[in-house]
Amino acid sequence: MEKEHRAIAVRKPRWLILVLVIFATGVTSGLGGLALALLLRIVQHVAYSNGPHTMAGQQSFLQEVTAASDLRRFLALCSCGAVAGIGWWLLYRFGTPLVSIRQAVRKGDRMPFGVTLTHAILQIVTVGLGSPLGREVAPRELGAALATKLSARANLTPECTRIMIACGAGAGLAAVYNVPLGGTLFTLEVLLGTFSLSASVAALATCVIATLVAWLGLGHGLQYSLPPVAVSPSIIVWSLLVGPVIGAAAYLFVRVTDAARASAPRDWRLAMWCALVFPIIGLIAIPFPQLLGNGKGLAQAGFDNEVGLALAATLLLLRVIVLVASLRAGAEGGLLTPGLSIGALLGIILGSFWNHIWPIQSLAGFAIIGGAAFLASSMKMPLAAIVLTVEFTGIGQEFLVPLLLAVAGSVSIFHLCRAYADQLMRAPVAIRDQELTPAPLPAGLIAAPYGGLPLDVADNCRTPVDAKTEQ
């Protein structure tokens, strides 16, 4: 009995070791996010910049892309296709199988560090060259991989390791976007699915530490700047009405992107698809440079009231097309920032029509609410989406009322659509099973070989051969 208690005590991590692992996870995730963010700026500078102001962060990526020549945009996307196609094909062909953050958190699988690091770098390089996918998955994967190594070195229990991997992923997100509270909620709501005290403390500590570390090189400014936006009865009513519409659109978006990812090749065809898709995106980007990159510049243009109804409708259609095409080709990346930009465009379109009914002076409010509602449904994280929007934009507390109304309506309709679709998919299976199940015979009947005759008639129909067979 004494040996058993001693073994349990050895397996349990001491509180000091756990504190050190939490601190180390925050520091390494912050440094990893900082390094990937700087790599992104370098790639963007090489691909599109004509001066040192991009490296210093004095000019946005959209401004650099717009200022670049048409030929330079096309060549950059051709390079993006080559890097994506060859890089990911080689990774899938010769590397060990990738382990996603969700698999590591829920199933306890170990994330191979070298392959995960290569996967993250490929995402950052392709986004810097103009891929329409998001960059946020890369720092999350790197943070989770670093947490895996630290947990293994400290010999933590499987449960503590699972929590630390999720905390590392959330800390990476917090570092690159300067969203400590949003990263915490992302860890708890999306990755762990719990708000227990131990998980909450670990997630908050790692995200705050990672954010502070990233301040050393990225600063602590907001991701988006906003013009003055005011809450009015008009925008509150609009939020109530538009939330379900955005939720239905988010459901369709998720179905399409999931299908594109499921159909993406992982063999030699990946290089062929990328070599075909990305030059076409480069040609489309000649008249529409807003399509390049993860969508941050596009969302900022919507917040600045620089996108009208016709341009918003065109960019929304093209944005979804190039996003789905990139996923179908086999490129990897996130959908957080792209989802925010798509929601902002959808909000601008719906808000422009609403302005004819109950006028509001600025479209920026529509864009913010639309982006948050779409992000909440498409990423299945209502609480984290609300907090991320606040930390992204710095909107005032009074604007939370229409924001919450739109998010509630969007998430509700999203789940209703998913439940209805699941019911429709189960219906053919139930009908088929019902057709294959034989109908029960009425009472007093006997089955073949007497063709379902009554028992007394069946006995009279027995032949000598039947009696001999039964004997």
Residue 60 vs residue 290, higher pLDDT: 290
Lookup result for tokens 């013009």: 227
**pLDDT given for residue 448 in this prediction:** 43
Domains of the chain and CATH, by start: 11-218 (1.10.3080.10), 233-423 (1.10.3080.10)
Peptide bond into 132 cis (omega under 30): no
Please state the rounded mean pLDDT for residues 296-303: 90
- Read off the tokens for 108: 């306890």
Please state the rounded mean pLDDT for residues 5-17: 57
Residue 195 vs residue 449, higher pLDDT: 195
Please state the rounded mean pLDDT for residues 10-32: 86
Say yes or no to pLDDT of 378 above 70.
yes
CB atoms near residue 216 (< 10 Å): 10
When pLDDT is cut at 50, 70 and 90, the band that residue 422 belongs to is confident
Say yes or no to pLDDT of 210 above 70.
yes
Residue 92 vs residue 454, higher pLDDT: 92
Average pLDDT, the chain: 87
Are the CB atoms for 293 and 132 separated by under 8 Å?
Answer: yes
**pLDDT given for residue 466 in this prediction:** 44
Portion of the chain with pLDDT greater than 90, in percent: 70
The 10s digit of each residue's pLDDT in 272-281 is 999 999 999 9
When pLDDT is cut at 50, 70 and 90, the band that residue 428 belongs to is low
Residue 412 vs residue 425, higher pLDDT: 412
Q: How far apart are CA 356 and CA 124, in angstroms?
A: 42
The 10s digit of each residue's pLDDT in 132-150 is 999 999 999 999 999 999 9
Q: How far apart are CA 242 and CA 378, in angstroms?
A: 15
**pLDDT given for residue 228 in this prediction:** 84
**pLDDT given for residue 305 in this prediction:** 85
In this structure, of 112-121, 211-220, 258-267, 444-453, the range with the lowest mean pLDDT score is: 444-453
Please state the rounded mean pLDDT for residues 4-28: 73
Contacts of 356 (CB under 8 A, 6+ apart): none
Q: How far apart are CA 400 and CA 67, in angstroms?
A: 36
Say yes or no to pLDDT of 299 above 70.
yes
Are the CB atoms for 33 and 27 separated by under 8 Å?
Answer: no
Say yes or no to pLDDT of 337 above 80.
yes
Q: How far apart are CA 123 and CA 111, in angstroms?
A: 17
Q: Which CA distances in Å does 216 have to 210, 219, 299, 449?
A: 10, 6, 26, 86
**pLDDT given for residue 27 in this prediction:** 97
Say yes or no to pLDDT of 102 above 50.
yes
**pLDDT given for residue 104 in this prediction:** 93
The 10s digit of each residue's pLDDT in 74-97 is 999 999 999 999 999 999 999 999
**pLDDT given for residue 42 in this prediction:** 94
Q: Which CA distances in Å does 33 have to 61, 78, 302, 406?
A: 18, 27, 27, 31
DSSP-assigned beta bridge partners for residue 334 = 134
Portion of the chain with pLDDT greater than 70, in percent: 86
